[in-house]
Amino acid sequence: MTRTTHTYLDHAATTPMVSEAVAAMSAQLPRLGNASSLHASGRAARRVVEESRETIARALGARPSEIVFTAGGTEADNLAVKGLFWSRHAGDPRRRRVLASAVEHHAVLDAVSWLGSFAGAEVEWLPVDSLGRVDVEAARASIESDPESVALVTLMWVNNEVGTTQPVEELVALARPHGIPVHSDAVQAVGQLPVDFAFAGVDALTVSGHKVGGPVGVGALVVRRETDLVPLLHGGGQERDVRSGTLDVAAVAGFAAALDVAVASRDDLAHRLVELRGELVRQVLTAVPDAELNGDPGPDVSARLPGNAHFSFPGCEGDSLLLLLDARGIECSTGSACSAGVAEPSHVLIAMGRDQERARGSLRFSLGHTSTRADVDALGEAIGPVVERARSAGLVNASGGRF
């Protein structure tokens, strides 16, 4: 089938750059200067970096000195999880337990698993309920069973697959009396939900440029000044000796410009996305009545991400649905784009109690700043026939035929 339209419903994977970010990057790309150099060109580059750092700090409720630039969310997550563990464990070998939710993004999930396999960490996966929200009482019991042995707690701000917000502040309240640091991956939250580093009380917070209308390849770990981290990278000692490497001045400028716009327009965007998502859910469930909406149903933005709608379609394979929709010019996701192409059920849905068939037959539709009612209507028109075709193909294939 030839594409006649293009409908982008995968903003959680990456969202189009805003014009302000493009302009900020374009202004810096022709300019010469390493931000670590002491000559005039270097000082000019450093000025751009520090002004961008101030903008990002202001947007996130942090101090400029708490912003550590990275190459993106994955690096920031790894720096937080591994850096905190190594620092805490070196200070006291008893601190070897790492508590993480069972529904973390793979950037955290796999980093934590690596610590368990290669660094002597004792990993505990905190359970979630049927909506994908961490069980606070289970976390309390885990922490209070032996608080002196806990190296860190890591809990995402909002789930990237099903959109359910997490009780970050409640876990901070449990960990703080014992001096246990808490890290939160807020990559999906920033720009759609209020994220205030100081108010939340976390010790480390991950953000990424391309999720808020900035460029790919730049992000930040917000780290309290009194928090010790062992660096992943060694070299020039940039970024408080926490993250060595020559900074991409243009990308940093684009990131700052995009985040500034995203936070300023957040409330208006969230209100618009809540309405669009509500219509998307209505149209999908009208076309496919037995589809299952996953995650917190909302619409309260304190409970879920405004632009996320995640469904399971009984009798279907998510990959088949994705490709059939793609052939019609509609782009979405089977979950986390970082694990796309791997024929495994979503670990998030499994942790929520779904069986493997439902976990495999799921799609995530995520809206963003360029989304329109026309995008929702295009999906509403296509999803019924696509699900019917996927189910028919599945039945033919299961009976030994070809499709």
pLDDT at site 118: 98
CA 142: distance to chain centroid? 25
Average pLDDT for the chain:
94
What crossing angle do the helices spanning 373-398 and 266-287 adopt, rounded to 10°? 40
How many whole angstroms separate alpha carbon 49 and alpha carbon 28?
Answer: 11
pLDDT in tens, 227-277: 999 999 999 999 999 999 999 999 999 999 999 999 999 999 999 999 999
Instruction: From residue 61, give the alpha-carbon distance in Å to each of 198, 225, 308, 376.
Output: 6, 14, 25, 34
pLDDT in tens, 157-205: 999 999 999 999 999 999 999 999 999 999 999 999 999 999 999 999 9
pLDDT in tens, 103-124: 999 999 999 999 999 999 999 9
Q: Is 338 a catalytic residue?
A: yes
CA atoms within a 13 Å half-sphere pointing along the CA-CB vector of 77: 26
More confident residue, 338 or 90: 90
Residues of the chain above pLDDT 70, percent: 94
Residue 95 is classified by DSSP as -
Confidence class for position 338, pLDDT limits 50, 70, 90: low
pLDDT in tens, 360-399: 999 999 999 999 999 999 999 999 999 999 999 865 454 4
Q: Would the pLDDT of 47 be above 60?
A: yes
Q: Would the pLDDT of 23 be above 60?
A: yes
| DSSP states along 143-205 | HHH-GGGEEEEE--SB-TTT-BB--HHHHHHHHGGGT--EEEE-TTTBTTB---HHHHT-SEE
CATH code for the structural domain at 7-16+266-398: 3.90.1150.10
Other Cβ atoms within 10 Å of 340 Cβ, number: 12
pLDDT at site 400: 44
Residue 67, beta-bridge partner list: 222
What's this model's pTM, rounded to 2 decimal places?
A: 0.95
More confident residue, 220 or 1: 220
Report domain extents, the chain: 7-16+266-398, 19-264
Q: What is the pLDDT averaged over residues 136-160?
A: 98
Residues 22, 123, 216, 338: which is the catalytic one? 338
How do beta strands 150-154 and 182-185 pair?
parallel
CA atoms within a 13 Å half-sphere pointing along the CA-CB vector of 149: 12
Using alpha carbons, select from 42, 48, 87 the residue that is nearest to residue 223.
87
CATH 3.40.640.10 fits 19-264, yes or no: yes
pLDDT at site 403: 34
